[in-house]
Amino acid sequence: MKVLIVDDAPTVRSLVKTTLEAMGITVLGASNGKEALDMAKREGFTLIISDINMPVMNGLEFLKAFRSFNRRTPFLVLTTESDPEKKEAAKRLGATGWIVKPFRPQDLSNVVRRFAR
């Protein structure tokens, strides 16, 4: 399994990476949607986990661009946003799930396990 974590906060990328690598998962990181989009066009990922609020290209813009060429890969939104409108917008664009920060590593592991099947 190979996961792409997209977040402008290095600490969040590091926590996700550490949590998932402990599960035997390969994790690559990007700091914004544009960087992630470039990576997603070059490499195949089993799962994408992305923040919404980022510079250059935000998570919703990234999700929309990603879904234009990949409808199958699960896409989790990991964000401090609890705004129902943003959540609905993410769903309409093709988000598979939503995790609110801060999160417990065990909660992240449980969600990711569901997509590993």
Q: What is the pLDDT of residue 117?
A: 65
Q: Is residue 34 part of a domain?
A: yes
Q: Structurally, how many domains does the chain consist of?
A: 1
Q: CATH number, domain at 67?
A: 3.40.50.2300
Instruction: Kindly give the confidence (pLDDT) of every residue in the chain, 117 residues in length, as a single tens digit, with 9 standing for 90 and above.
Output: 999 999 999 999 999 999 999 999 999 999 999 999 999 999 999 999 999 999 999 999 999 999 999 999 999 999 887 788 888 899 999 999 988 888 899 999 999 998 876
Range of the domain at 50: 2-112
Q: Is residue 66 part of a domain?
A: yes
Q: What are phi and psi of 97, to 5 degrees?
A: -160, 175
Gap between the Cα atoms of 49 and 96, Å rounded: 10
Q: Is residue 46 part of a domain?
A: yes
Q: Is residue 100 part of a domain?
A: yes
Q: Is residue 117 part of a domain?
A: no
For the entire predicted model, the pTM comes to 0.93
Q: Is residue 26 part of a domain?
A: yes
Gap between the Cα atoms of 89 and 108, Å rounded: 22
Gap between the Cα atoms of 95 and 58, Å rounded: 14
Q: What is the pLDDT of residue 116?
A: 74
